[in-house]
Structure 1
Amino acid sequence: MTRPEEIAASLLPMLRTWVAGEYGIAIGGSYAKGSGDSLSDVDIYLFANEVLPAARRDEAVVAELGVEARPESWGADDPFVQGGTDFWHVGQRVECWLRSTREVDRTLRACVGGEVGREYVVWTVMGFLSYTALADVHSMMVVDDPHGVLARWKAAVATYPEALRQNILDRFMPEAAFWPENFHYRTAVQRGDVIYTSAIVQQVLQALIQVVFALNRSYFPGEKRLAHAMEKLSVQPSGFARRVQELLMPPSVDVAGLETQRRGVADLVAEMRALAFDTPGSGASG
């Protein structure tokens, strides 16, 4: 298996032809976060304000790597905010994600200032949380940064922003606490309405996950392989990652099983709420 750094280095001459003006190139995704394995693709981030149209990027991949690379590009060319070109190289899947430098600048400033944005898109369970951009920048491995763009961003997110932490706690702790004793959740349990109860459980647990990362002043790394990331957090309810995974499936899909699940969710919410209020400097207000 070829190392991601070697793959990125070999692709640099081609990737540089895709951009005009200031740019930065980095390795992101699971390898940058230390959780890559044999099933992981190689994520390459390319930041610029001007990029080649998708069709020309596909042509460049074929010209450089051959038709067996099977390039697939996505996203809008104009106005350019984000897009990508995915292909195969030395037997590995490479996903090259292109993002507007201007847009990343705006997002980082907003999130460092405390903005908690969420956009509902099809490829993410919780919706796209704007502040995951801070995690991407914090963890990414810089490959080519001739204009110092990536170094400037990394400096901006080196310390977890307290305003962001406070707003995550204020938003997601009440969301999680809304459901456990809710009348409609209780009656759904009594009816055995698994479709409804499972959606509630997922919503509560995903909100608690946002809370636990904020409590630890640790950037939420995205939805994949969360158990691995959560096990490293020092401030959390006992066995948090294990309990989250167990609660996603009730012990049975009858009333008794759904009630056991509801009580487990309620206990976890109560423990997290206590941590949010009792942890020094938590500042939780709801």
Structure 2
Amino acid sequence: MNHASQWRIDIALDIAPHYARYAHVEAVVVLGGVARGWADAYSDIDLVVYWRQPPTEAERSSVSAALGAHPGPFGDTFTSQPDPTLRYWWEEYYLGGDAQAGLKIDVGHHLSADMDAVVEAVTQHHDPHALKHEMLYSIKRVQTFYGDARINRWKQAAGMCPQPLAQRIVEENLNLPPFWMARASADRDDGLLYARVLQEVCQRLLMVIVALNREYFPGVKRQAQLLAEMRIQPVSFHERINQALRANPDEAIPAVEQLYDEVFALARQHMPQADIAAAPQRFHFQRPRLSAPLSRLP
């Protein structure tokens, strides 16, 4: 736990009882870089409050008022989702100053029943929804200020990423489109397309590595710390991804192709049942460059 994390944890400890005093609150946690001990000068405090029933506006706003906090520019928001288990109420406020100078506090208000449903959807029904995977990754690593029993049940239920789900992720993210578009976009000076192609391939390879380690993918933030947790990965994977994304195309394209081959080899070794045998041929396919015109058709 670094110093930047510890003093933020201390602030969160002061905030948590203001939410925990409500009878319908089951748990209060902090997550993200602060919970993991990775905070830096950019870090805010991400709190999640789990409720038995939807919180009222008065209940949500009373805490920031009691703390004398400065309101955030985006106010208090209810986020609806096509999947109702992903609904939540979100607010932000600032301590020690306004949005230009203070410490940002992000608070997500979730229903415990919705979290139960998310855990079941992923672990029992192998739901591939990215946000649900991020929620399970996070719940296993939170710092709990109130409601240990509830949080520990979710941590235990989340467990490892189920093997059928991990296999699906490996198959989907190694069966990639042909990589020739990287060279074509570089030659055409299409910088945005070139960057998007490289970033997408690198992200998908990262997702494969996380799945091979039977973990839930939390997104690309904090890539170095995420990979530090992974036993199965190519040598210097984090550094090589960063180098490829910063290099010129003549260096970056073969570097990404090499990373693909190494990740594929690891998948064959650790998940031999995955349906990926034809994936490298598709990925490495090169569209021919036609510099001379064809003969006219008869």
Letter in 1 for 2:256: V
Give the match for residue 145 of structure 1.
147
Paired residue secondary structure (1:115) = coil
Q: 1:100 aligns with which of 111, 117, 124?
A: 111
Task: State, as a whole percentage, how many aligned pairs show the same letter.
Answer: 23
Q: 1:208 aligns with which of 205, 213, 232?
A: 205
Q: Equivalents in 2 of 1:12, 1:22: separation in Å?
A: 11
Give the match for residue 94 of structure 2.
88
Structure exhibiting the larger radius of gyration computed from Cα positions: 2
Give the match for residue 164 of structure 2.
163
Paired residue secondary structure (2:214) = coil
Show structure 2 runs of 5+ residues with no match.
97-101, 277-298
Give the match for residue 120 of structure 2.
109
Shift of 1:55: 6.5
Paired residue secondary structure (2:246) = coil
Shift of 1:199: 0.8
Give the match for residue 274 of structure 2.
284
Give the match for residue 132 of structure 1.
134
CA contact (8 A) 2:133 2:218 kept: no
Q: 2:76 aligns with which of 63, 73, 78?
A: 73
Q: Equivalents in 1 of 2:189, 2:80: separation in Å?
A: 48
Q: Does 1:260 align with 2:251?
A: yes
Shift of 1:12: 3.1
Relative distance call for 1:140 and 1:202 in structure 2 (3 A) is same
Shift of 1:131: 0.8
Paired residue secondary structure (2:140) = helix
CA contact (8 A) 2:79 2:90 kept: no
Shift of 1:245: 0.8
Shift of 1:27: 1.4
Q: Equivalents in 2 of 1:250, 1:115: separation in Å?
A: 36
Count of aligned pairs:
261
After superposition, the CA RMSD in angstroms is 2.7
Paired residue secondary structure (2:169) = helix
Show structure 1 runs of 5+ residues with no match.
119-128, 252-257
Relative distance call for 1:267 and 1:100 in structure 2 (3 A) is same
Output the TM-score relative to the length of structure 2: 0.77
Give the match for residue 16 of structure 2.
12
Question: 1:99-126 CA deviation, whole Å, 9 max, x = no partner?
Answer: 22222222211211322124xxxxxxxx
